A and B are shown apart, each in its own frame.
Chain A
Amino acid sequence: MRRLLLLPAVVAVAACTTAPSVSEHPKPSPRELEEVTAVLKRDFRARGQATMDRVELDEVQRLCNLHADNPPAELARPIEETQLKAIPFPAGSMMGDWKNGEKIAQSGRGAMWSDKPGVQEGGSCYNCHQISPKETAFGTIGPSLAGYGKTRGNRPEIQRYVYGKIYNSKAYNACSQMPRLGHSKTLNEQQIKDLVALLLDPASPVNQ
């Protein structure tokens, strides 16, 4: 459908030489960044659980905004390290219940002003990833996770990586487009363990 819609426009643009040149992804200065935050403070208001502290930038968001999501490695690395150190990894096995993990992966709710906190929080995983082959309506912002454990096994180090990635994606890739689902308190320890099982448990449909 998108293609169909685009076709006439492409023709129109080709015929039009006065189209404005829109600069791709501008890098704001630290001062401009502060100005944008001030605008958000003035023009937004708290609603439900979406309180105004959410417009304040933390070190990750500041870094990514200043560098148009593409920071030099020497600036990204120390921030990834602090994010990694702050992950409260559970002791022992991190494999929960994949069936529950599938439900959490399916749910796109959670952390919005329209959601009740603590009720049916989801990870929106299918919004961005292919995961179980049974779900064909998956998004493509992130890579496919189909067969994730089949190729990687489920050794403790893999469990730890997957747990950490879900808890705080930025600990491994500072400007990842993936939300920090544990760090933002959207998902709790048990929910993240259930997702680890969804990706790594040999019995999970993901690995069939």
Chain B
Amino acid sequence: MRTVIGSAALALAFAPALAQQSPYAEYQRMARESAPVELFELAGEEAWKKKQGPKNVSLEQCDLGQGPGVLKGAYASLPRYFKDTDRVMDLETRLLHCMMTLQGRSREEATKRVFGNADNASEMEVLSAYIAGHSHGMPMRPGTSHAKEKAAYQLGQKLFFHRAGSWDFSCASCHGEEDKRIRMSGLPVLYKPQVARPLIATWPAYRVSNSQFKTMQWRMNDCYRQMRMPEPMFGSEAMVSLVHFLTVTAQGEPYRGPAIKR
């Protein structure tokens, strides 16, 4: 797995220089030619089928909402309410649940390294790549009918606008007004459907700027870091609700990931 990802990084070693000359077309070309995302998907398939944990079983029977082991369209239907846990879960939270229940792993062990780095992607990242890939082209349809799904949306929306922390930021401080940027990065107004749709429908994604494959929970984590807040806990209700709010705002958009990003 490490060597597979290593070669992906190598193939893209020239990417940041190109990125500075900007053109989006360059990314598209690179995406086609070096297809690093496929390498993460490949590593993810390996991780999905790997027997591990105290029970020494793979994740292949994990139910992501479409039935045990069904991958097609699973990502595009998340986050959604799961009866067995009586809560709304996004892909990463559900995977963690399967690691704990199917494989018998502890939360501590399974979340020790959810966010990887350029040398070595995490198990969660490659699994996300593999599973999300099975929803390519399918419209994003997160659950919106169950009472807990409605509550998650509402909590996510409140969190989006909630100002707190030592720098008084909310998500809307940086994602609330059109045509604003931080340094040179454009700041998408993520509570507007027309803005959220094309962006949210590309995660998880390979980020050329730091040569890493990243998930939505990582994106939330890193924006809270910039907000000068304490650290959100992986898979917590707050994080799932925020992801749910963003995904419902983007609903209907055909899933175009796992994508390549700036």
* Nearest-neighbor residue (CB-CB) of B252 within chain A: A16
Interface flag for A82 (CB, 8 Å): no
Cα of A140 to Cα of B198 in the assembled complex, Å: 23
Cα of A18 to Cα of B228 in the assembled complex, Å: 37
Residues from chain A with a CB closer than 8 A to the CB of B239 are 43
Q: Are B193 and A45 in contact (CB under 8 A)?
A: no
Q: Given A20-B248, A139-B181, A180-B168, answer yes or no on A50-B161 (Cβ-Cβ < 8 Å).
A: no
Cα of A69 to Cα of B173 in the assembled complex, Å: 10
Q: For residue A193, give the distance in angstroms from its CB to the closest CB of chain B.
A: 21
Q: Are B173 and A177 in contact (CB under 8 A)?
A: yes
Please provide the chain A residues from 1 to 59 with a CB less than 8 Å away from any CB of chain B in the complex. 1-2, 4-6, 8-10, 12-13, 16, 18-20, 22-26, 28, 32-33, 36-37, 39-40, 42-47, 50-52, 54-57
User: Which of A24, A44, A186 makes the CB contact (< 8 A) with B191?
Assistant: A24
Q: Are B193 and A22 in contact (CB under 8 A)?
A: yes
Q: Are A54 and B188 in contact (CB under 8 A)?
A: no
Interface flag for B186 (CB, 8 Å): yes
Q: Given A60-B168, A65-B162, answer yes or no on A45-B198 (Cβ-Cβ < 8 Å).
A: no
Interface flag for B249 (CB, 8 Å): yes
Q: Are A1 and B193 in contact (CB under 8 A)?
A: no
Q: Given A55-B165, A114-B225, answer yes or no on A140-B191 (Cβ-Cβ < 8 Å).
A: no
User: Which of A4, A13, A39, A68 makes the CB contact (< 8 A) with B237?
Assistant: A39
Residues from chain B with a CB closer than 8 A to the CB of A75 are none
Interface flag for A138 (CB, 8 Å): yes
Residues from chain A with a CB closer than 8 A to the CB of B197 are 9, 12-13
Cα of A40 to Cα of B163 in the assembled complex, Å: 12
Interface flag for A61 (CB, 8 Å): yes
* Nearest-neighbor residue (CB-CB) of B228 within chain A: A111
A-B contact pairs, 8 of them (CB 8 A): A13-B197, A50-B165, A51-B230, A55-B229, A114-B225, A128-B182, A137-B184, A179-B228
Q: Are A186 and B183 in contact (CB under 8 A)?
A: no
Q: How large is the interface on B (under 10, 10 to 19, 20 to 34, 35 or more residues)?
A: 35 or more
Interface flag for A64 (CB, 8 Å): yes
Interface flag for A89 (CB, 8 Å): no
Q: Are A139 and B155 in contact (CB under 8 A)?
A: no
Q: Are B165 and A54 in contact (CB under 8 A)?
A: yes
Q: Are B232 and A44 in contact (CB under 8 A)?
A: yes
Q: Given A54-B165, A112-B226, A128-B182, answer yes or no on A20-B251 (Cβ-Cβ < 8 Å).
A: yes
A residues in contact (CB < 8 Å) with B: 1-2, 4-6, 8-10, 12-13, 16, 18-20, 22-26, 28, 32-33, 36-37, 39-40, 42-47, 50-52, 54-57, 60-61, 64-65, 68-69, 108, 111-114, 126-128, 137-141, 170, 177, 179-180, 184-186
User: Which of A20, A45, A57, A68 makes the CB contact (< 8 A) with B231?
Assistant: A45
User: Which of A13, A44, A140 makes the CB contact (< 8 A) with B194?
Assistant: A13
* Nearest-neighbor residue (CB-CB) of B201 within chain A: A9
Q: Are A50 and B158 in contact (CB under 8 A)?
A: no
Q: For residue B208, give the distance in angstroms from its CB to the closest CB of chain A.
A: 12
In addition to A18-B252, A177-B169, 18 A-B residue pairs with Cβ atoms within 8 Å of each other are A2-B188, A12-B253, A16-B252, A20-B251, A22-B157, A22-B193, A24-B191, A26-B158, A43-B239, A44-B229, A45-B233, A47-B231, A50-B228, A55-B165, A60-B168, A113-B230, A180-B168, A184-B166
Q: Are B249 and A112 in contact (CB under 8 A)?
A: no
Q: Are A47 and B193 in contact (CB under 8 A)?
A: no
Cα of A32 to Cα of B192 in the assembled complex, Å: 23
Residues from chain B with a CB closer than 8 A to the CB of A43 are 232-233, 236-239
Q: Are B238 and A111 in contact (CB under 8 A)?
A: no
* Nearest-neighbor residue (CB-CB) of B198 within chain A: A9
* Nearest-neighbor residue (CB-CB) of A48 within chain B: B231
Cα of A19 to Cα of B22 in the assembled complex, Å: 32
Cα of A143 to Cα of B163 in the assembled complex, Å: 21
Cα of A1 to Cα of B23 in the assembled complex, Å: 7
Q: Are A141 and B168 in contact (CB under 8 A)?
A: no
Q: For residue B251, give the distance in angstroms from its CB to the closest CB of chain A.
A: 7
Cα of A8 to Cα of B195 in the assembled complex, Å: 11
Scoring B residues 202 to 240 as 1 if CB is less than 8 Å from chain A, else 0, what string do you get? 000000000000000000000011101111110011110
Q: Are B233 and A44 in contact (CB under 8 A)?
A: yes
